[in-house]
Amino acid sequence: MRQMYLGDWRTIILFGELISAFLFLFPKTNKIETLLLKADMDLSITIHITGRMRIAMPSVTFILIRVIGFIRNPYLHKKELV
């Protein structure tokens, strides 16, 4: 976290990710949390790229979120959201 200059934000990021992961488990909040976790992983990959760090772990996590989100909510990945 210090390499990414996020040392002071560590606790806030941790609680945000834990709450998002917890809400991702429930069907009623799964739709929103799928989108929020994908955005979170997009940001994580971007920070890793700009910090010249490995992007393997955030990329694998991003792919898992996409796959699980698609299995649980296939309509979220369509071009037209109705």
Digit-coded pLDDT (tens) for 6-28: 767 778 878 888 888 888 888 88
Number of domains in the chain: 1
CA 72 remoteness from chain centre:
16
Q: Which residues contact 11 (CB under 8 A, 6 or more apart)?
A: none
Question: Rounded CA gap, 60 and 42, in Å?
Answer: 12
Q: Which residues contact 36 (CB under 8 A, 6 or more apart)?
A: 20
Q: What is the pLDDT of residue 4?
A: 64
In a domain, 34, yes or no: yes
Q: Does 81 have pLDDT greater than 70? A: no
In a domain, 82, yes or no: no
Query: In which domain, by residue range, is 38 found?
Result: 7-77
39-40-41 Cα angle (round to 5): 90
In a domain, 2, yes or no: no
